Structure 1
């Protein structure tokens, strides 16, 4: 629900795109076109056909070393060069060019904050390259990042950069959980990588979330959002989250004060049901009483001091939106000027 940014990680992942993703697409296009023109005859030798592309031949020595390395990486017994070969002998240039265009269109939409993207079925080869190799393997490969940026970069780096840039240790999706502990951090794909593999490495489709928000039984899992939808990269969604508190039933109720896109967001993350859990009431109630107890030690506490104290704890303490919304319902609050 928090408005977030991801500019630090964006620099790393754009480097990955420019040095690996785009050249690989161009190499595939080169080979497929050469086959169609009859300059390369089938059947091909499976090994190292990518080395015959104009793109690879134009690389620097260091770039050639990097591509030679990534082409040999193995996932489930298959090397990346095996996928390259299978694509080259399976698809024609129109398909590859159409997929390349789709890649650019989907990523461009995400960078412009448009997440209402229809799902388009992608073949298993390209899906495997983006998810199994790019995201699952190369994201955490020291050699790859050493060659690209001269330092280690991995998922821990992503989380650290994200927290420091946003100055927060609460989950931006839900504001229910904290993400101080590394084990409670997931890199969550807002548009799931299983359905949108071509944007699996887009930094504005990646969010450092709590464990629960990434799971289907508690959070969004890999469900496709209903349209229209917004993400925390768009705006402060929590500003459109209203909360009611019932002291008799000991229940917090979330209600939408925004539009359809906000409602779809709350449903996607299952926030209506998650906030109604009795433990959420206990947490908010405890935070409220702790706040009143703390401020009772002030010389002359006021409603303004309560609100300012609340603001200082935001992004570092969970359930800030709920506490801010219901604090005025407490009798202790009415006692202050």
Structure 2
């Protein structure tokens, strides 16, 4: 009888120990998942990217029919994607229009991404559509908004600490009456002067340009956002290792190129102390300001990979935002 009771106690002890080990294992796996939670996977929508790019790839110098068509398309697309839309019309010889879409327009802080949608009027490049010079960056921003749509509408809108702003500048290119090769940047200067979005609310202004040519490399241009640039490089490596990128050379380099930079719409923000990132290669594409800057000469692996990297970066920035986030030089 005593032996039987001892066997029951022993079995009970082993059962209890097994249950404890089971719960310890479950807790370990849960904690491990929290610590090494995999990168969020978002479904690529290449059909949307291609359709968007097709709508933008047309001659669109300020005042042309193509320009007004692209402007209206940007506004309609942002509205359909759930953004609060604004258009700022101003004149400087001719009429210009900046376009902005925001999620959480009343937020005290914003991540701002921008590019220009106009093309230069080139008499020596009939049919110039500026694929790398504006069209691809515009398409990337709209596609990012489309593929992040559920997160932006269902989760970000519940937050009060951070908002997202997408800005499409007009007047980036000089008009025929302007001095040759002048950096007029009418749209971005207007945006900063009028504070279309309060400058103190912009945590980082990220300008995209000259994206889509082959053999491009992206380096950090400003020390204040070097950490964000490095995060871009890590995201690219993570996406590459998980098989989410197209076969392509490494785009982002953990290198500082703080002494040179191509002029672009981030300059007015930089002058006002807003932290900036310039997502542009270290040199102009070979097709720059020629009729060859078209869809046929785009390096699609670069376009697709930049699209995936930027989308993941925007998601991570918004999702991990807290009140201590700041990159301001004067902070």
* TM-score normalised over the length of structure 1: 0.24
| Structure in which a larger fraction of residues adopt helix | 1
